[in-house]
Amino acid sequence: MSGGHMVTMINQMLLHGDESRFLAVLEEICAHMRAQPGFLSLRLHRSPDHPERWAMLADWSDAAAHRAAASAPGIRPAFARLRAEAHTAPQVYAPVPTPGAPAGDPLV
């Protein structure tokens, strides 16, 4: 999938290390991503039932913008530090029409 359409990167993370180091490196990664061309928004979620489970959702103008931001040489050490604290499973998704959504639904 290449540029042109908004995408959402969803990174499911399972914390196995130190939470304070995990949060510190997430802060660094989020600051980097927010400063990149094509960045739209970022949300961080934590499971109330399983506090070791986290999810990061970041919206991008297109897949190419996300790819460029995630492959910048300066961010790679932060990704390595993140993986030292948590198992990560990032994946980029493109929106699709929601079955049964009313006409005019912004996600259709």
CATH number, domain at 13? Answer: 3.30.70.100
Q: Is residue 102 part of a domain?
A: no
Q: Which two tokens stand for residue 79?
A: 């990704």
* Mean pLDDT, residues 30-50 taken together: 98
Q: Give the structural domain span for 49.
A: 7-93
Contact 9, 66 (CB under 8 A): yes
* Rounded-to-5 percentages of helix, strand, coil across the chain: 35, 30, 35
Tens digit of pLDDT for each residue in 5-37? 999 999 999 999 999 999 999 999 999 999 999
Q: What is the pTM of this model?
A: 0.86
Tens digit of pLDDT for each residue in 59-88? 999 999 999 999 998 999 999 999 999 999
Q: Is residue 31 part of a domain?
A: yes
- The number of distinct structural domains making up the chain is 1
The CA angle 49-50-56, to the nearest 5 degrees, is 110
Give the model's confidence band at 103: pLDDT under 50 very low, under 70 low, under 90 confident, else very high.
confident
Q: Is residue 19 part of a domain?
A: yes
Q: Is residue 107 part of a domain?
A: no
* Mean pLDDT, residues 43-49 taken together: 99
Q: Is residue 65 part of a domain?
A: yes
Q: Is residue 37 part of a domain?
A: yes
Q: Is residue 2 part of a domain?
A: no
Give the model's confidence band at 2: pLDDT under 50 very low, under 70 low, under 90 confident, else very high.
very low
Burial class (CB in 10 A: 0-12, 13-18, 19+), 35: exposed
Q: Is residue 74 part of a domain?
A: yes
